[in-house]
Amino acid sequence: MKLHCMRHGQSEYNVLGLCNDDPAREVRLTKLGRRQAQWAAEQLAQLPVQQVFCSELPRARETAEIVCALLGAPLETHPGLNDIRSGCDGRPVQDYYRAIAHDRMHARVGSGETLAEHKKRVRRFIKWLKKRNYNDVLIVAHEETLRVFAAYARGLSDARMLELTFANCEVFSFDLI
C-alpha cells in the first residue's frame, strides 16, 4: 500500500498560536489554508488515491474535503488520526510546550494524553490500515500525527521523531509494509 500523508492547511488557530484538539470546536482553515489545500490537491491529482482518511478535527476535514473534490476519492474520518489531546485546548501552544518541556514523550497536561500515548493511538490506526485492501491512500492529519507516521516509515527513534516538522499541506509518501 502506498501511503501519502499530508498536514492540514493553515487554520485560524495556527495564526493565533493556540492549541486545538477538540473536534467539537469549529476551528476552520484561513483563506491561505484553503489555497494551500487546493494547491496540494492539484499536486496529488495524478495519484491513483482510492481512499482518503482524515482526523475528526474541522481543519483536517475541511482540507480533506477540498482535496477529495478534485481527486474524486471517498473520505472517511477516523479518531485515530486526531491531533494529540494536549490538555490545553484553546490555550497558547507555548503554554503546552512549556508544560511538557521536562519530558516531551511522557509529560501530561491535565486530562490530556502524553506523546507516548498519542504515538500508540496512531500506531493502532496504522496497524488497522495495514489490514485494509487499498493500493493508494491519503491521510490528512496534524503535525504530531504525521511525526508518528514519518518515524514509523523511516524507523526513527522517539528523539528523532520529535525533531520532525511539517508545513501546512506538506505531503510525504511511503510504502506501508
Q: Where on the phi/psi map is residue 66: left (φ > 0), alpha (ψ -120 to 50), or beta?
A: alpha
The pTM of this model reads 0.93
Can you give the pLDDT at residue 177?
79
Return the amino acid letter for 33.
Answer: G
The CATH homologous superfamily to which domain 2-11+29-85+114-175 belongs is: Phosphoglycerate mutase-like (3.40.50.1240)
Q: Smallest Cα–Cα separation from 65: which of 78, 83, 52?
A: 52
- Report pLDDT digits (tens) over 119-149: 999 999 999 999 999 999 999 999 999 999 9
Parse the chain into domains and list their residue ranges: 2-11+29-85+114-175
